[in-house]
Structure 1
Amino acid sequence: MMDPENSSDEQLVALCQQGRSECFEPLVQRYMQKAFHIAFGFTREVESAKDLSQDAFLRAFARINQFDGRSSFYTWFYRLLVNLCLDHARRNGRVKWQSLDDESDAAAHEHRALADDGFRPEQAAIAGEASRKANETLRAMPNKQRTAFVLRNHQGLSIADVAKVMRTTEGTVRVYLHRAVAALRQSLVEFV
């Protein structure tokens, strides 16, 4: 008998599709933390991120028989989650893109900078202004450009996976990424 905890995603999905619903739980355990972080990246609200990640798992479970294996389970699930997050953003206004670093990361960077013997306040001020400008530019980007940029550069998805999540072609994703990078480069030209 197969051990669900040590089974691959594909094996677990196949078992779920055969009616063994208990085999979905290991998938939830594997991806719950990632799902929360992705949803939090869109909402910047803990409760909304919890709700969206749970809703994505419920949808994945309800639609498990629609999974056809053309992509990995994670890519398929990720698409469900991102679509829920984008729907949430449309219903509740724009995505709340804040700093790319969360506050604890920012505090850790500041602490390391202060502990560094070579710390120079003017460099810290310039870096802070550049970060603020980059975040401002990201917030102002069209949703599709921003989504492609964040999925590729902050979530680490391949261009092919970004295309699957966004339900578009790889060429279109490359265009979105090119435009996003061009906008960031233009906004940061004074810092280079």
Structure 2
Amino acid sequence: MTSAGYTTGLADGSNADEPGLVVQVQQGDTDAYAVLVQRHLPRALRVAWRVLRHREDAEDAVQDAFLRALERIDQCDPERPFGPWFFRIVATTAINKQRSSKRRETDELPETAVSDVIGPADAATLSVLRGEVDAALATLPAMQRQLIEMVTFEEFTPTEAAQVLEIPAGTARWHLHEARKALRTQLQSWLGDGGEDE
């Protein structure tokens, strides 16, 4: 499980047959679309949650994004990966929802039973560190925060994140560099002497 309780990965771990699925959907096959939905739902929920920070709003945004994607499926090039095309729709839908509602809730990431794996003292330290990281992330400009979260927590490549956010890959790398530098400075007490060597 990851942020907001959403799991990682595609349903079957493979996207090798996606070009065929996209073509089938373009020909009206709703079962093929159901397969694409199942594969991309967990990651779509995480992308929307990272923007909205509210589970129900993220679920609404993803549902809207799946409907928009289906309406625009003829614009999807089956020769290119479905994921980046779709996640761009998810991110845009979530950003638009955030702008229209002006709702900036900051739900905490769900606490897991880390004390079951590590001792209570270490769990308390981890909780403090999580708070420090969340606070540091909150100080970043929106673009830098989104990129850091997508690349670090959602395991997007910088190029994939750039595609989703519709910015040049070089710009994404620059924002990531600046964000990491700012985070290293803010979290210096946790990083110790090794924080500047990255």
TM range (shorter): 0.7 to 0.9
Same amino acid, percent of matched pairs? 29
Does 165-174 or 38-47 show the bigger shift? 38-47
Name the counterpart of 2:32: 23
Q: Secondary structure at the match of 2:111?
A: helix
Q: Which residue is equivalent to 2:116?
A: 111
- The answer to whether residue 61 in structure 2 is matched with residue 44 in structure 1 is no
Number of residue pairs the alignment of both structures matches = 177
Residue 158 of structure 1 aligns with an amino acid whose one-letter code is T
In structure 1, distance between residues paired with 2:124 and 2:24 = 55
SS at match of 1:103: coil
Q: Residues 138-169 of structure 1, C-alpha deviation per residue, up to 9 Å, x if partnerless?
A: 11211110111111111101111111111111
Within a 5 Å distance, the mapping from 1:1-192 to structure 2 comes to 8-69=17-78, 71-93=80-102, 96=105, 99=108, 102-105=109-112, 108-114=113-119, 121=121, 126-191=125-190, 192=192
The structure number with the bigger radius of gyration is: 1
Match of 1:3 in 2: none
What is the CA–CA distance in structure 2 between the aligned matches of 1:9 and 1:17, rounded to whole Å?
A: 12
Change (3 A) 1:112 1:27: same
* Inter-CA distance 164–152: structure 2 relative to 1 (3 Å threshold): same
Q: Which amino acid aligns with 1:37?
A: R
- Residue 118 of structure 2 aligns to a residue whose secondary structure is helix
Shift of 1:188: 0.8
Partner of 2:12: none
1:147 aligned partner, one-letter code: Q
In the alignment, the residues of structure 1 paired with residue 160 and residue 45 of structure 2 have an alpha-carbon distance, to the nearest angstrom, of: 19
Gaps in structure 1 of 5+ consecutive residues: 1-5
Compute the RMSD of aligned alpha carbons: 2.4
What TM-score does the superposition give when structure 1 sets the normalisation length?
0.80
Distance verdict in 2 for CA 1:149–1:169, change over 3 Å: same
Matched to 1:175, the amino acid is W
| Uncovered stretches (5+) of structure 2, i.e. residues with no partner | 1-14, 193-198
Instruction: For residue 96 of structure 1, report the CA deviation from its aligned partner.
Output: 4.3
Contact 2:25–2:32 (Cα < 8 Å) also in 1: yes
Q: Helix, strand or coil: the match of 1:71?
A: coil
TM-score between the two structures when normalised by the length of structure 2: 0.78
1:187 alignment partner AA: Q
